[in-house]
Structures are given as structure tokens and as C-alpha cells.
A and B are shown apart, each in its own frame.
Chain A
Amino acid sequence: MAHATHRLRYAVVGLVLVGSFAFLLFKGLGTALNFYLPADQAVQQKASLGGKTFNLEGVVEPGSIHATPNGVDFVVTSGATKLPVVNSGSPPELFRPDIPVIAVGHFDGGTFVSNQILVKHSSNYIAQHPARVTAPNGSKQ
């Protein structure tokens, strides 16, 4: 009797583990391993993407950010490509010009309509005090 309950317990634990492993693998491969598509590549593949929802990446063009009644408009650049983004909802705290962001949405004519912005911060850490520190690339920050 005790033996049977033990076996059942192992089976349940095994099932839960295998199930969660499969789920994670599915989610990982489901987003095709690449989390986003750079805006220049997205514009090239616009015809095949159609109205599909995907993650678009680009750098926020300085001076292009305008608050709108239900969100924010801005332009992302990626290589030589510039693409206007219309976002509904407020972007995260760190959203600002000249940083890479990911917009979740789809093409609508010549613009990208999104409902979520993710800020893709870099792995560079630079102290905030101006003129007191030198950035890793040698420039005064």
C-alpha cells in the first residue's frame, strides 16, 4: 500500500517536471528563440508579416517623442530605416530618446501600431555625474 502511494507520488512529480520542461521549451521555441525583429529587417519583411503581431526593435529617434491622449508617438531608427510607432498606453519609466526599445504590435500601413513598449537597456554602466567620469569608450560622460 505504502509502496503504491510512493509510486504514485513519483509519477506525479515526474509528470509535473516533464510537463514544465516541455512547456518552457515550447514557449522558448514558440517565440522562435529571437525575441525581436530589428526595424530594418521588419520593414523588408513587411509583406510577409502583414498584420501579424511581433516584437519590433529600434532606437528611439531624439526629438520624435510626442505624448498623445492615449499613449505616445515616436520614430525608431534601425540602420538606415526610420519607422513611426504609435503606441497606446504609457511606456516604462526608462523610456527616453536614443535608447533601444522593443514595441509589441503590428504594421498598419506605413506605421507600427503597438500596445506595449519594453526598454532594452544596455550592459554599460556609466556614473551619472557629468564631466567627472570617463566612459569605458574613453569619452567624458
Chain B
Amino acid sequence: MSPNPTVPSPIVQSPRVRWTVRIVGVTAAVAVAFTVWLGLWVTPPDQTQGDLVRLVYLHPGVAWVALYLAFGLAAAASILYLWPRTRSLFWDRLAAAAVEVGVVFNVCTLISGSIWGRPTWGVWWAWDARLTSTAVLLVLFLGYLALRRVPAEPEVRARRSAFVALFAAVDVPIVHFSVLWWKTLHQGATVLNPNLSPTIHGSMAWTLLLGFVALTLVFVWMLLVRYRIGFLEDWLGSSELDVALLERRAEGMA
């Protein structure tokens, strides 16, 4: 009597995909370990900041993942959901997974920045445009996640969420350009500055780059795992509904 809804999921079940996820995870862990080693032991201290400079291998990479990869992907996936020709719940699920990972990285951005700010600036927090707009970003995407918890038909929820994601993503360029548009305590961009000439060099620059790659891999791994969980949650939800329907039907016949 037990219904057996099949999982229509080459993405979720195929051993090849599961192995890919594992390999991405292991590569990410190795890249992070290598960054830690270069960042803490190999690279020299900075002229002004001394050993405090070592946070540069972590903090900008974490922010890069949150702002551009996670929230950027969420915005792109939301557009693809809203576009009638590409509309599919795949994009909705992908956007949700990206935002959830992005929120984690956004929190880590604020925490690592605060830890860097205390010994360098002298304060844990300042209400400058960069810090404030980053905090606003977190609140906006927490709103997105809260909205997804409101019970609704999957299509209704997907449409609502896509609009909110696009609205929230407007803050991403504001965060990025805040250090140019306003006078901020936060320093300007080291790599993606207006002249596109990185003001960091040698082993420090390479470690910074490796940090970006390592955190990007961590993001990809977390995204894949979260997508899979989201998919299985949806499938479980619909199979539970099937069970409930069959039970009610059986009651009707008895």
C-alpha cells in the first residue's frame, strides 16, 4: 500500500554527481589549508599593519563569495525563473540555496571585518556607508529566507521570492561602490579598484588570489550540498502529500 513516488533526479542521485560534490569538497578543504599555511607562515607582515594584514587573505574573499557569487547567482537565477521561457523550479531552488549560503558568508564578512577593525581602526563597528550597506544586505536576504518559510504554492513562493531577491540584490552594487561614492572609514578596493591595478604584490597577492579561489570552492561545495537537500526536502514534502492522499482515500473506502 505504500506509495513509491520515484525521485526524478539524475542531479541528486547519480553517483557521478555525488562524487563530483565530494571532489569539490576535498579540493576546497585542501585549498583552504594551503591558504592558511601561506597566509600565516609564508607571507611577510605588512609595513603598516604588521601581522594584522593576514586578515586580508580571509575577509575580502568571504565578502566576494557573499556579494558577487551567492547574491549575484541568486539574482541571476531569479531572473531566469521570472523569464517565462526559462521558468523552472530548478532556478527557484538554486536561488534559495545560493541565498542561504550567501547569508552565512555575509555574517562571516561582518564578523571577520569587525575582528579586523578593532585592532586597526580602533573600533569594532562604525556606521560608515560600506559597513551599513553590508548590514542592510544581510537583513534584506534574511527577509528573503523568512518569506520562503511562509506557506504557499511552490509557484507562488518562487515568484514572490524572485522579486524579493532582485529587490535585495540592488544593494550589492551599493555595497561595492560605497567606498567610492561616499567618504568611508573602510578602505577602497585593493584589486578591483578604478585603475584595476592591484595595490598588493608578491606572495601577498598570490595568497590573496588563492584565498579567493579556496573560498569560491567552499561556496560551490556548500551550494551543491544545499541544493541537494532542498531538492530532497521538496520531494519528501510531495511524497508525504501522496501518502496522506492515499490514506484519506483508503479511509473513504472503508
Contacts and interface: CB of A to CB of B under 8 A. Distances in A.
Contact of B132 (A27, A93, A125): A27
B127 A136 contact: no
Interface stretch (B73-81, B177-185, B211-219): B177-185
B122 A28 contact: no
B201 A134 contact: yes
A33 B182 contact: yes
A121 B197 contact: no
B190 interface: yes
A36 to B, nearest CB: 5
Contacts of A10: 150
Nearest to A32: B182
A127 B129 contact: no
A27 to B, nearest CB: 5
B48 A14 contact: no
30 contacts: A21-B143, A24-B136, A24-B139, A28-B129, A31-B127, A33-B181, A35-B182, A35-B183, A57-B183, A92-B120, A94-B52, A94-B119, A96-B48, A99-B48, A116-B122, A118-B122, A119-B120, A120-B121, A121-B49, A122-B188, A123-B189, A123-B193, A125-B53, A125-B201, A127-B45, A127-B47, A128-B44, A133-B202, A136-B200, A141-B47
Interface in A1-56: 10, 13-14, 17, 20-21, 24-25, 27-28, 30-31, 33-38
Contacts, number: 135
Interface string A104-132: 00000000000011111111111111000
Contacts of B139: 17, 20-21, 24
B187 interface: yes
Chain B, interface size: which category? Answer: 35 or more
Ordered nearest first, which 7 A-B pairs have the shortest CB separation?
A: A92-B122, A28-B132, A35-B128, A123-B187, A127-B44, A125-B200, A124-B199
